[in-house]
Homo-oligomer: A and B are copies of this chain.
Amino acid sequence: MFEKFEAHIAAYADLTQDELKYMRSLSATRKLRRRQLLLQEGEVCRCKTFVTKGLLRTYYAREDGTEHVMRFAAENSWMVDHESYNNQTPSRYNIEALEDTEVILWTRENFDRLLIAIPAVRELSERLKSNSLDASQDRIRMNISYTAEEKYQAFVTSFPDIFRRVPLHMVASYLGVSRETLSRVRHAQLKRQRENGVV
């Protein structure tokens, strides 16, 4: 499992063999079955997670039973509830495997050791946080300014692979539009594509 991480990380951080060995020695691995939870609302998010196989979602469950998808993370992505991890406070969220999934985990204590010992890990970590912030801002921009059709289109364009792997109602939930609206948007678009001979 760690070989997949090594292959991925090489493109993002310049790590020596010794540094990789140290990262590995402080890591743990875990396999999750489809529908299994990696983190449950109310628990503290104690680990930074790297997905080597499968697909996770972070979702927010309301008392009325509705579920709202905050994030998807497929293989070669990091997943963490930043707020809970950083402040060691109970998480508002659940992290669930949508497919059989394999992850590498570092506890906060161990990851903090890596941040001190390996400058490249520190740089990577800061870059990932910056990217998360930019992506969050961009999602807020789309949330507040895009029509349902534009939101759908942006999702399909940005995450074609995720789009193929998750049910449409989860895409609707991620976008903050109703399932009915998204079905309508999708049908209208498929109809236009047929008329234009694209499909």
Contacts and interface: CB of A to CB of B under 8 A. Distances in A.
A121 interface: no
Chain A contact residues: helix, strand, loop or mixed: helix
A143 B145 contact: no
Given A82-B130, A129-B130, A137 B176 contact: no
A181 interface: no
How often does this chain occur in the complex, in copies? 2
Interface string A135-155: 011111101110000000000
For A62, A126, A130, A174, the residue with the greatest tally of chain B CB atoms inside 10 Å of its CB is: A130
A83 B134 contact: yes
A133 B130 CA distance: 9
Interface of A: 60, 62, 66, 68-70, 82-83, 86, 92, 126, 129-130, 132-134, 136-141, 143-145, 173-176
Nearest 9 CB-CB pairs, A to B? Answer: A144-B176, A136-B136, A68-B145, A143-B143, A83-B134, A133-B133, A68-B144, A60-B141, A143-B176
